[in-house]
Amino acid sequence: QVQLVESGGGLVQSGGSLRLSCAASGISLSIYVMGWYRQAPGKQRELVAVIRSGGSTNYADSVKGRFTISRDNAKNTVSLQMNSLKPEDTAVYYCNTASGMVPWGQGTQVTVSS
């Protein structure tokens, strides 16, 4: 059974940092373009960062320069380092392939207070 489990969210003050992790079972993440998504209340889910098998990355303009996506193929995990957090980063964060082909996990809540 394919499963993605996100962790690492929490409550942080504006300007703070968090590191999110995504652990996979039943699928080898190394062969996929992986992404971190987020969904704020009342908004559509958006893709904020992607990482390709070779390690190249892309970011949404809203997080560029503040977030860093990385992957550890040996551990079958993908991470998102989030620095200089802003209240508008508040959302539930999910990982998935860039095409969203895997059943969505529960996500991890990130709340940034002003």
- The strand pair at 10-13 and 108-113 is best described as parallel
Q: Which amino acid is at 57?
A: T
Q: Are 58 and 74 in contact (CB under 8 A)?
A: no
Q: What is the Cα Rg of the chain in Å? A: 13
Per-residue model confidence (pLDDT) at position 4: 96
First-last CA distance in the chain: 40
- What number of other Cβ atoms are within 10 A of residue 41's Cβ? 7
pLDDT-flagged residues of the chain (< 70): none
Q: What is the pLDDT of residues 57-72, one digit of tens each?
A: 999 999 999 999 999 9
Per-residue model confidence (pLDDT) at position 32: 93
Per-residue model confidence (pLDDT) at position 100: 87
Per-residue model confidence (pLDDT) at position 70: 97
